[in-house]
Structure 1
Amino acid sequence: MELAYYSDYAVRLVNSEEPIRGKDALTSVEAVRDLFVGNASAARRATDADVTRFRSVRARLRAVFEAADGGDETLAVDLLNSLLLEFPVSPQISGHDFRDDDGRPLWHMHLADHPSNVTAGYAAIAAMGLAFHLTSYGVDRLGLCEAAPCRNAYLDTSTNRSRRYCSDRCATRANVAAYRARKRLEADRSESTGLTADSAQRTSASGDR
């Protein structure tokens, strides 16, 4: 069972919205279906009613990331447990898409589609995947991008727990902004030092007269 893969379900859903920028990609049933990467059968079951349901689950998943990012481990766990309780998983043995050299199924554990609606199924998979990541790597491995105004969610898989950005693009943008800020500060300090020196020289010259 690739639970690490299932944790990406949570990240994809949370990042379908950029609250600070006022952007929301989850505005149609087609957008909902796009979230089901590699699961066409589940995607086809999505209806217009799932748009609102997905948004509700998204808000709850973002709250988990916000709690983790803010250092409140207990709250993050409580929020995630609430999702796990409401959207239980349905594990099954499956052989789809995997065959050995003789064409026989390679049996493995799989989280089955939820019988009620696709939102419940997606939420169950996302919550279970996130729970696996949290318990395997730690609550502090759930983060929100520090490259303002981006606040996309990410899962830190670095060896030294050093990840701070959701993507290389945001990391580069933040580094460039920090470099420019340092240069402005250096220029301001240099200008201030120059003005102070000029003022001191004028004061000295006035005293000599």
Structure 2
Amino acid sequence: MELASYADRAVSLVNTADPYRHRDTLTTCEQAKELLAPEGRCRVTNADVAELRAIRDRLREVFDAAESGRVPRAVQVLNSLMKQYPIRPVVTDHDGASWHLHLAEGAPTIAAVYGAKAAMGLAVQATELGFDRLGVCQAAPCREVFIDTSTNRSRRYHSDRCATRANVAAYRARRKEQARVAGEAEAAANAANAPGTATAAGAKVMAGAGSAAPGR
């Protein structure tokens, strides 16, 4: 079993909310069931929804702290989550399945099962790859999170869509700046050559002096 794969649960949970875009897809039991689908069929209560939302807030803090370079804070919050939601690994072959590992056997709620796996998976990824791999999307206003598994630590966006949107915005900003600079240069050149300007007047004086010289 790849423990690191459970980090995807942390990402999925955090990304059910984006406060900057006023979006939240974890407000009902049905939405929670969709999130909890990897855990199999389960009964979800309003208390589970509230617990998942509380776990989500703390996982968000881990990502935000790591993204801003406050690694000790990220570690502190992550450790507190793992303490509250410890893994209880057991080997089982329930329901006729082959022998496999359960990480959170005996957890009191389905939210606690999810929280234990999410926290452990995130801890494995952060310690193996580095806390700087816990990213927050840079395509404002999006603030969804991701785990950067690229070889050169270059990922900045949580999705291709956000990457495209950011690149298009940057291109348009460059074109706008280029147009502004070109416009200012053209305006300055026109002003310098306009009648009545010091340059134009100077040119006329020089021309007049040149025509008067032979008569001396």
TM-score by length of 2: 0.88
> 1:208: which partner in 2?
203
Distance 1:156 1:124, change over 3 A: same
| Distance in 1 of aligned mates of 2:95 and 2:130 | 32
1:48-63 matches, within 5 Å, as 48-63=46-61
With a CA cutoff of 8 Å and minimum separation of 6, indicate the structure with the bigger relative contact order: 1
Listed as ranges, the gaps of 5+ residues in structure 1 are 100-104
Distance in 2 between residues matched to 1:150 and 1:126, nearest whole Å: 22
TM-superposition CA deviations, 1:29-66 (whole Å, max 9, x none): 1111111233223xx22212111111111100000000
SS in 1 for 2:38: coil
The alignment-based identity, stated in percent, is 50
Query: What is the match of residue 16 of structure 1?
Result: 16
1:67 aligns with 2:65: yes
2:120 matches 1:123: no
The secondary structure found in structure 2 opposite 1:12 is: helix
Partner of 2:27: 27
Partner Cα separation in structure 2 for residue 54 and residue 145 of structure 1: 22
| Larger proportion of helix | 2
Written as runs of structure 1 = structure 2, the 5 A alignment for 1:178-197 is 178-197=170-189
Q: Which residue of 2 aligns with 1:37?
A: 37
Q: CA deviation at 1:96?
A: 6.7
**Residue in structure 2 matched with residue 137 of structure 1 by the alignment:** 129
Distance 1:183 1:97 in 2: 62
- TM-score where L is the length of structure 1: 0.90
Of 75, 78, 100, the residue aligned with 1:80 is 78
The answer for the alignment partner of 1:102 in structure 2 is none
Deviation at 1:155, TM superposition (A): 0.4
| Greater radius of gyration (CA) | 2
Q: Which residue of 2 aligns with 1:4?
A: 4
Secondary structure in structure 2 of the residue aligned to 1:116: coil
Q: Provide the C-alpha distance between the structure 1 equivalents of 2:76 and 2:54, rounded to a whole number of angstroms.
A: 17
Opposite residue 174 of structure 2, the aligned amino acid is R
Runs of 4+ in 1 over 4 A off after TM superposition: 95-99
Measured in 2, the distance between the counterparts of 1:157 and 1:7 equals 12
Mapped to 1, the partners of 2:116 and 2:35 lie a distance apart of 14
* Worse-matched range after superposition: 21-30 or 31-40: 31-40
Within 1, Cα distance between the matches of 2:184 and 2:74? 47
Between the aligned partners of 1:177 and 1:37, the Cα distance in structure 2 is 36
Residue type at the aligned position of 2:108? S
Q: Give 2:101's aligned amino acid.
A: M
C-alpha contact 1:144 1:164 (8 A) present in aligned 2: yes
Describe the shift of the 1:47–1:61 C-alpha distance in structure 2 as closer, same or farther (beyond 3 A): same
Distance 1:96 1:196, change over 3 A: farther
Structure 1 pair 98–65 and aligned structure 2 pair: CA distance change class (3 A): farther
Whichever residue aligns with residue 23 of structure 1, its letter is R
Q: How far, CA to CA, are the matches of 1:109 and 1:119 in structure 2?
A: 19
